[in-house]
Amino acid sequence: MQNTQNYIQKNKDKFLNELIDLLKIPSISADKAYITDVQNAAESVAQNLKNSGVENVQIFPTKGHAIVYGEKIIDANLPTVLVYGHYDVQPADPIELWTNPAFEPIIKVTEIHPEGAIFARGSCDDKGQMFMHVKAVEAMIQNNELPCNVKFMIEGEEEVGSVNLGTFISESKELLKADIILVSDTGMLSNDTPSITTGLRGLSYVEVEVTGPNRDLHSGLYGGCVANPINALTKMIASLHDENNHITVPGFYDKVQELSDNERNEMAKAPFSHENYCKALNITNVSGETGYSTPERGSIRPTLDVNGIWGGYTGEGAKTVIASKAYAKISMRLVPHQMPDEITELFQKHFESLAPDGIKVVVTPHHGGEPVVTPIDSLAYQAASFAYETTFGKKPIPVRSGGSIPIIALFEQILGLKTIMMGFGLDSDAIHSPNEHFGLFNFYKGIETIPYFYSEFTKLTKK
């Protein structure tokens, strides 16, 4: 891999400039106004793959946004790595909180990133991380050091639940034949504590609508006489956690597995500073389920959180009104073996039962996804661990993450393939938030580390 590594060192500026061009495209999958930009991003990724030496590059249209495919087949007898990533991004709002516009990438130094970080929506999630794979493969192809076959599948709908990707993979089993799926769409503990993501939480997402009287009412004439939907909704929501921050939906924890003390002790070895955590978020204390540490609350325990709530008068000044309706969006993060459809149903039943007299409740499910845990005794994990150890000089720690990538569970169910998650982002990179960024150290380290995964995985699995 020496020529590959030399090529990477020589082409750092080129790689960065190419990423900057991709980051300038506002490929916001959730907003129809950006449909052309999303398509442009797909074409840009396809062009980049071609320029890198990847072959058979195709853009597959779907009912939603397109999927970019490409491959470099060296020899059918060699193992095949299937790289998954996404080129779509979250909306940039609230845009006024960006110190520099979200789609005008800029390099700035931060406390955590003294080498500089690239600020732009999608820099870390996931254009920057996906692009590391394109550049790592380019370096190997251009130096005749690609040790096995590689396939790319880069989608444009991850941030809206990957609704069409399941159908695509079901219909493309032959095309997607591989030995392992490789993903960089998660994070690591810190720049001097590399880690490999070994789990993701699942997701159940619902919207609730609470209706009282058939129209907005004068709060003086009717106040005190009819159920107020906003009062009712907030009370219902408040009752979803008990005094220990346990979720009160009956049956919610039935399938949750308690980890053994041994597993919890292993997890607790990952460095965590309560003080730095609070400082970074400007909070006076953490909050969560009694009996669990902050890292546990954020990874191995399920949650229920209101993500948005609205209703009534929210404009300037005061308007004395009792709203007819109130709404909330609620996410539940799930752990093995909670199934999103079952949890959604339990929630729905329970929430409807909470409605006080005079209030109607409608619960509408949105997209969901199953949790995943990946083994740490596999050859792929061993190869990834070797790769990090080579470039960081330290063995990576296995860490279960709190985020969700719903398609990963489907990879196993539909394609029968395990996934290895080599994330290089940091929690402090502000993904989904204003001022998202990705460290240059992380971007380049990712490109340097990935080739060692290929060489080691090939060595370990070659028939």
- Give min distance, CB of 40 to ligand BES, in A: 20
Q: Judged by CB, which is closer to ligand BES: 229, or 425?
A: 425
Q: Judged by CB, which is closer to Mn ion: 185, or 456?
A: 185
Q: Judged by CB, which is closer to Mn ion: 71, or 158?
A: 158
The answer to whether 233 and 335 are in contact (CB under 8 A) is no
Residue 229 partner contact from Mn ion, ligand BES, none using kind-dependent CB cut-offs of 5 to 8 Å? none
Rounded distance between C-alpha atoms, residue 146 and residue 72, angstroms: 9
**Of 121-129, 318-326, 327-335, 374-382, which part binds Mn ion (CB under 5 A)?**
121-129
The answer to whether 386 and 456 are in contact (CB under 8 A) is yes
Number of H helices, E strands in the chain: 13, 18
The angle formed by the CA atoms of residues 403, 335 and 368, to the nearest 5 degrees, is 65
Judged by CB under 5 A, the residue of 88, 125, 436, 448 near Mn ion is 125
Judged by CB under 5 A, the residue of 126, 138, 157, 436 near Mn ion is 126
The answer to whether 120 and 103 are in contact (CB under 8 A) is yes
- Give min distance, CB of 282 to ligand BES, in A: 21
Site residues, ligand BES (CB under 6 A): 125-126, 158-159, 161, 185-187, 200, 203, 367, 369, 401, 403-406
Q: Judged by CB, which is closer to ligand BES: 183, or 323?
A: 183
- Give min distance, CB of 300 to ligand BES, in A: 14
Q: Judged by CB, which is closer to ligand BES: 213, or 340?
A: 340
In eight-state DSSP terms, residue 428 is G
Q: Judged by CB, which is closer to ligand BES: 71, or 88?
A: 88
- Give min distance, CB of 436 to ligand BES, in A: 11
- Give min distance, CB of 403 to ligand BES, in A: 2
- Give min distance, CB of 393 to Mn ion, in A: 28
Rounded distance between C-alpha atoms, residue 209 and residue 143, angstroms: 58
126 cis-preceded (ω within 30 degrees of 0): yes
Site string for Mn ion, 181-220 (x = CB under 5 A): ----x-----------------------------------
- Give min distance, CB of 4 to Mn ion, in A: 26
- Give min distance, CB of 123 to Mn ion, in A: 12
Which residues does residue 364 pair with via DSSP β-bridges, in sequence order?
207
**For the purposes of burial, counting CB atoms within 10 Å of the CB of 79, is it exposed (0-12), middle (13-18) or buried (19 or more)?**
buried
Cα 254 to the center of its chain, rounded Å: 26
Q: Who contacts 266 (Cβ-Cβ below 8 Å, separation ≥6)?
A: none
Rounded distance between C-alpha atoms, residue 11 and residue 237, angstroms: 53
In eight-state DSSP terms, residue 415 is I
**Inter-axis angle of helices 2-10 and 12-23, nearest 10:** 60
Residue 404 partner contact from ligand BES, Mn ion, none using kind-dependent CB cut-offs of 5 to 8 Å? ligand BES
Residue 235 partner contact from ligand BES, Mn ion, none using kind-dependent CB cut-offs of 5 to 8 Å? none
Closest residue to ligand BES, based on beta-carbon distance? 403
The answer to whether 369 and 332 are in contact (CB under 8 A) is no
For the chain, give the number of residues.
463
Rounded distance between C-alpha atoms, residue 47 and residue 195, angstroms: 32
| Through-space distance between the first and last CA atoms of the chain, rounded to whole angstroms | 21
Q: Judged by CB, which is closer to ligand BES: 105, or 425?
A: 425
- Give min distance, CB of 183 to Mn ion, in A: 9
Helix/strand/coil for 326: strand
Residue 406 partner contact from ligand BES, Mn ion, none using kind-dependent CB cut-offs of 5 to 8 Å? ligand BES
Q: Could you say whether residue 456 binds Mn ion (CB under 5 A)? A: no
Name the residues that contact Mn ion, by CB under 5 A.
Answer: 125-126, 185
